[in-house]
Amino acid sequence: MSWLVLVVSGVLESVWAVALSRTQGFSRPVPTAIFATALVASMGGLAFALRSLPVGTAYAVWVGIGAGLTVTYGMVTGAETVSVLKVALIVGLVGCVVGLKLAH
């Protein structure tokens, strides 16, 4: 259960990061509300997962999922450039996250 919550929390990390970029300094109410909600849910899920997972592994997985999804979202929407190197690095990041899960 902790791993599932951790993965969902990692996805929510990406949601709050993207929403934060759209708040324009917290001056736009809808992106600000999405940011705040996703942030609280993401941190709450991470806190729940840390009750049974080691902090180093859980935090690395959480950050890896959030960072990987955020960059992927940026590339899909055109906000980030796409390159073979970036795609290879994201694949490597996902591989490391999976490796941490398997090593646990």
In terms of Cα–Cα distance, which of 55, 68, 72, 54 is closest to 97?
A: 68
Is residue 95 within 8 A of residue 40, CB to CB? The reply is: no
What is the tens place of the pLDDT at every residue in 35-88? 999 999 999 999 999 999 999 999 999 999 999 999 999 999 999 999 999 999
* Residue 98: per-residue pLDDT: 86
Distance CA 34, CA 53 (A): 27
Distance CA 81, CA 75 (A): 6
Distance CA 55, CA 5 (A): 14
Residue 102 pLDDT > 90: no
What does pTM read for this prediction?
0.89
What is the tens place of the pLDDT at every residue in 4-21? 999 999 999 999 999 999
Q: Residue 55, Cα to own-chain centre: how many angstroms?
A: 16
Distance CA 6, CA 59 (A): 9
Residue 103 pLDDT > 90: no
Residue 100 pLDDT > 90: no
